[in-house]
A and B are shown apart, each in its own frame.
Chain A
């Protein structure tokens, strides 16, 4: 079974600064996907960024980027130029590959990020 660990229950950062959220996972699968989801107080789950395990290049989406270390089974999220709207719970999630469709997501416990003005 796969497990996802987020070791930082809470973090805070000043507006405009950079913050990195940690995530490690355990799997015997060779082909899989990793995701970061954001959950603001509205509780809506919003996809922030995704990474395919077969790709060596780290994914980037505007101010969000990841550091994917496959051998170390590490998948950290870096948020640059933090904004007040980034305040939310952030969940790291694992999905094993299934041809033709989506599989279940396995989530970490989450990191509560607060961006301070």
Chain B
């Protein structure tokens, strides 16, 4: 199993540009989570999907952020326009249906730098 795949691994962009982060969950997993990690705020949930439907987007900072899950094998997190305070590591995680362990499997993360 390839695990959760995220791309790109690193992204450097200028303020005002659009940024799109991508995630491919583990096949068969029906829940997908986007987390952001910063020094100031630590790890926090941005949004999560269950069966491709957004369940909790209370962590999305503002309208500049949007997330989609058009099918069970792909999700995107878009920032438009990007700002320097968006610099962080963005993790995607997936979890299977009915799993007794409720474990979330994390991708390697995307390190975003906005200059």
A47 to B35 CA separation, bound complex (whole angstroms): 16
Interface string of A82-112 (1 = CB under 8 A from B): 0000000001000100001111111111100
Whether the pair B91, A45 counts as a contact (CB closer than 8 A) is yes
Asked if A33 CB lies within 8 Å of chain B CBs, one says yes
Interface string of A27-57 (1 = CB under 8 A from B): 0000001010000001111110010000000
Whether the pair A43, B95 counts as a contact (CB closer than 8 A) is no
A-B CB contacts (within 8 Å), total count? 59
A100 to B99 CA separation, bound complex (whole angstroms): 7
Whether the pair B102, A102 counts as a contact (CB closer than 8 A) is yes
Determine chain A's interface SS by DSSP, over half rule.
loop
Residues of B within 8 A of A108 (CB): 42
A85 to B43 CA separation, bound complex (whole angstroms): 22
Binding site for B on A (CB under 8 A): 33, 35, 42-47, 50, 91, 95, 100-110
Binding site for A on B (CB under 8 A): 30-31, 33, 35, 42-45, 48, 50, 56, 89, 91, 93, 95-99, 101-104, 106, 108-109, 111
